[in-house]
Structure 1
Amino acid sequence: MTTNNAHRLNGNDPVRLILVEDDFDLRQGLTDFLRLNAFAVTAVANGREFDQAFATEMFDVAIVDVNLPDTNGFDLTRLISGKTNIGIIMLTARTMREDRLKGYAEGANLYLTKPVDGDELVFAIRNLAGRIKQAGGTSSARSESGPNWYYDGTAQRLVSPQGTAIILSGREAKLLVKLAEEKGRVVSRAVLSRAMGYPETSLETRSIDAVLRRLRSKARDAGIALPIHVTHALGFHFAGAIDLSPSTGRL
């Protein structure tokens, strides 16, 4: 699931959506319809698949069902709104007033009920993405400017601009050091895979995703919004500056 959202929304690239819907037929139908309307859609069926996609990709708008097999849309909405500033549309069969109020309280921008008119949904997404653009764009991190991040190679830890630190595994450290060395440039999977010590096979490069998921989870637990973004078909970049300690060297 891309380049910096502010850049994409100001250019001609499609609005990037994540659709969370457990009903297969509805999920497939909405995905096909939204793609026909020029949206880039990643569709997932449950909270686990959402976590996997959200850990490695960027989105402009999330469309979230309430009733999911392993979690609920209210919890997902709270997670998304607490860690990002992307647009959130709740799409559910639950029509009670208290459900609507809860959805908005958890951070939803819009609360639509099923069955939804396709054209209405398209305009809702476009309008929401337009407001995001006017606000200066979105990203998986609330702030990507200001004080630098810091990597302490001696203690093998990453320190956020706010001073919160997380301890890194060896592969997590290698990933971050390589991204830091590239100073915001996109790093391909192949290059990042070599830097992390993986064999040079296309299969092994997918291990980067597993490392990134663990790193994002560790950051979320510490209350850190980690601005590592995926540029579709190109690679990864860190949307910010990381100061490397003199002792970092080659890990």
Structure 2
Amino acid sequence: MNETIGNQRVRVILVEDDFDLRQGLTDFLRLNGFSVTPVANGAEFSLSVTTDVFDVAIVDINLPDTNGYEITRSLAERTHMGVIIVTARTLRDDKIRGYAEGANLYLTKPVDGDELVFAIKNLSDRIKRVTTTEQLPNQSHSKWRVDCASQRLISPEGTEIRLSGREAKLILCLAEASGRIVSRADLSRAMGYRELSPETRSLDAVVRRLRSKAREAGLELPIHVVHAAGFQFSVGIEVS
């Protein structure tokens, strides 16, 4: 069996700190046609999602440096990635929290391999249909545009958002990254902040104000916060 979305193999990231289980699931899923990236903790997960794109995440809850709920919430808020929690926690409250944080499925260990294969396949197929449908109306006008001279951000539909100086620097830095994730430190430097300590929330305040402006204009700003990695403008944007 070779599981694909369109002409591409389904891409799975597996977050599991138990070495034997991680290796066993990785081998089994690869034998069933999936492309699998195994990671042992939240830090490795964050690094992987900054350099690769995945269709489905399989997430354990008990991790050494974070917990699967946080990863699930971040993915549900920022991406179209499907999330399957696989955990030893069987209590009803744990399951409810998993679904509340945005998991598509909650499976308990020991997980049945065939059940997991079909869960990944069905979930990835459904997500592909949803994202394709969402993209169809805007295929010919899908890019945002930032006008540097007038300091305006212009949506694909032509709605304009006036930018402050720092907001313009933020958008320009993200636009020049061409969809790549920009670290908090790099963004802070680009915006002229000298204080880069974790306690500094000036960058977050600028992003919040910008989101508020966009919502007042009836728009949802496609700036995503990637856990422990940075910020990303997740759709096409041109600079003029």
Q: 1:53 to 1:166 in 2, by over 3 A?
A: farther
Per-residue CA deviations over 1:88-121 (Å, capped at 9, x if unaligned) read 1000000000000000000001000011011110
Q: Which residue of 2 aligns with 1:76?
A: 71
Q: Is the 8 A contact 1:158 1:167 kept in 2?
A: no
Matches within 5 A, 1:46-85: 46-85=41-80
Q: 1:214 to 1:16 in 2, by over 3 A?
A: same
Return the alpha-carbon distance in structure 1 between the equivalents of residues 95 and 46 of structure 2: 24
Q: Is the 8 A contact 1:55 1:216 kept in 2?
A: no
Q: 1:153 to 1:128 in 2, by over 3 A?
A: same
Q: CA deviation at 1:12?
A: 2.6
When the two structures are aligned, how many residues end up with a matched partner? 191
Return the alpha-carbon distance in structure 2 between the equivalents of residues 217 and 79 of structure 1: 21
3-state SS of 1:108 partner? coil
Return the alpha-carbon distance in structure 2 between the equivalents of residues 151 and 173 of structure 1: 8
Q: Is the 8 A contact 1:104 1:111 kept in 2?
A: yes
Q: Which residue of 1 aligns with 2:20?
A: 25
Q: Is 2:156 the partner of 1:148?
A: no
The runs of 5 or more residues in structure 1 that have no matched partner are: 1-7, 180-210, 228-237, 246-251
Q: CA deviation at 1:131?
A: 1.2
One-letter amino acid of the counterpart of residue 167, structure 1: K
TM-score, length of structure 2 as denominator length = 0.65
Q: 1:132 to 1:152 in 2, by over 3 A?
A: same
Q: 1:132 to 1:115 in 2, by over 3 A?
A: same
Matches within 5 A, 1:8-19: 9=5, 11-19=6-14
Q: 1:153 to 1:90 in 2, by over 3 A?
A: same
Q: Which residue of 1 aligns with 2:116?
A: 121
Q: Is 2:128 the partner of 1:133?
A: yes
Q: CA deviation at 1:149?
A: 2.3
Q: CA deviation at 1:133?
A: 2.6
Larger Rg: 2
54-63 or 93-102, which deviates more: 54-63
Q: Which residue of 1 aligns with 2:106?
A: 111
Q: CA deviation at 1:217?
A: 9.4
Q: Which residue of 2 aligns with 1:214?
A: 183
Q: Is the 8 A contact 2:26 2:38 kept in 1?
A: yes
Q: Which residue of 1 aligns with 2:91?
A: 96
TM-score, length of structure 1 as denominator length = 0.62
Return the alpha-carbon distance in structure 1 between the equivalents of residues 145 and 11 of structure 2: 30
Q: CA deviation at 1:150?
A: 2.7
The runs of 5 or more residues in structure 2 that have no matched partner are: 189-202, 212-220, 225-232
RMSD: 3.9
Q: Is the 8 A contact 2:144 2:238 kept in 1?
A: yes
Return the alpha-carbon distance in structure 2 between the equivalents of residues 74 and 217 of structure 1: 28
Return the alpha-carbon distance in structure 1 between the equivalents of residues 132 and 23 of structure 2: 28
